[in-house]
Structure 1
Amino acid sequence: MIVRDLKSAEQSNRRIVSPDGNWESTRMLLKDDQMGFSFHITTIYKDADFQMHYQNHLESVYCISGEGEVETLADGKKYPIKPGTLYILDKHDKHILRAVEEMQMACVFNPPLNGKEVHNTEGAYELDAEAV
């Protein structure tokens, strides 16, 4: 059994802050845990507005708190994000995430992340990133 505490993980190398200043993510479960997915608690900072395109991963995102929107670039559709909303990037969707207020999100990635990933120039995570 694996048991981790968010507060302790936030004070360790499991907390990653984006170089662009849009988000921070505490990686609670990673590839080395051998569960087949990774689980993160991610904070999207207020007024963040950035594009992502997870070409190497599928992601599900559940909003715990805060408000914003996600826009799919293929069709220009905008979806409001508020507590209780789940959005699923099941087709490697190129998208923009906007935070009207700070949002706390629970995120699941498949395949699992190693731990040190930040977005590359395409808005994706690399498969061969460093482990924490």
Structure 2
Amino acid sequence: MIVRQLQEAEKTGRRIISPDGNWESTRLLLKEDGMGFSFHITTIYQGADFQMHYQNHLESVFCISGEGEVETLSDGKKYPITSGMIYILDKHDKHVLRATSELKLACVFNPPLNGTEVHNAQGAYELDAEPVNE
């Protein structure tokens, strides 16, 4: 059994802060754990507005708290993000995420992340990132 506590994980290399200052993510479950997916608690800072395109991963995002919107760029549709809603990027959707207040999100990635990933120039995570050092 794997047991981790969020507040303890936030004090380790599992807490990643984006270089662009839009978000931070504590990666509670990673590739090295052998579950076939990774699980993160991510905070998107108020006022963040940035594009992502997970070309190498599928992602499901559950909103724990906060408000914002996600826009799919293929069709221009905008979906409000509020507490209790989930959005699923099942087609490697190119999208924009906007936070009108701080968003606290639970995110699942398949394939799992190694742990140190940040967005590349295309807004994706690379598959060959380094594992975290705890």
What residue number does 2:59 align with? Answer: 59
- CA displacement at 1:123 relative to structure 2: 0.1
1:55-81 superposed Cα distances (whole Å, 9 cap, x missing partner): 000000000000000000000000000
Q: Distance in 1 between matches of 2:70 and 2:13?
A: 28
- Secondary structure of the 1:71 match is strand
Distance in 2, matches of 1:10 and 1:42, equals 11
- Once the two structures are superposed, residues 3-40 of structure 1 have per-residue CA deviations (whole angstroms, 9 ceiling, x without a partner) of 00000000111000000000000000000000000000
Q: Is the counterpart of residue 32 in structure 1 residue 32 in structure 2?
A: yes
Q: Equivalent residue for 1:84?
A: 84
Q: Tell me the residue number matched to 1:23.
A: 23
Q: Which amino acid aligns with 1:88?
A: I
> What do residues 40-63 of structure 1 show as CA deviations (whole Å, max 9, x unaligned)?
000000000000000000000000
The alignment covers a number of residue pairs equal to: 132
- Percent identity, aligned pairs only, is 79
Q: Secondary structure at the match of 1:32?
A: helix
Aligned to 2:46: 46
Give the TM-score of the pair, scaled to structure 1: 1.00
Give the 3-state SS of the residue equivalent to 1:8 in structure 2.
helix
- Which residue identity does 2:36 align to in structure 1? G
Corresponding letter in the other structure for 2:12: S
Question: Any residues of structure 2 matched to 1:67-82 within 5 Å, and which?
Answer: 67-82=67-82
Offset of residue 101 of structure 1: 0.2
Partner of 2:102: 102
Alignment partners' CA distance in 1, 2:11 and 2:102: 20
Q: Which amino acid aligns with 2:104?
A: Q
Give the whole-Å Cα distance in 2 for the aligned partners of 1:130 and 1:12: 15
Structure 1: 5+ residue runs without aligned partners?
none
Structure 1 CA distance for aligned equivalents of residues 29 and 41 of structure 2: 10
Once residues 10 and 67 of structure 2 are traced to their aligned partners in structure 1, the CA distance between those partners, rounded to angstroms, is 22
RMSD over equivalenced CA pairs, Å = 0.2
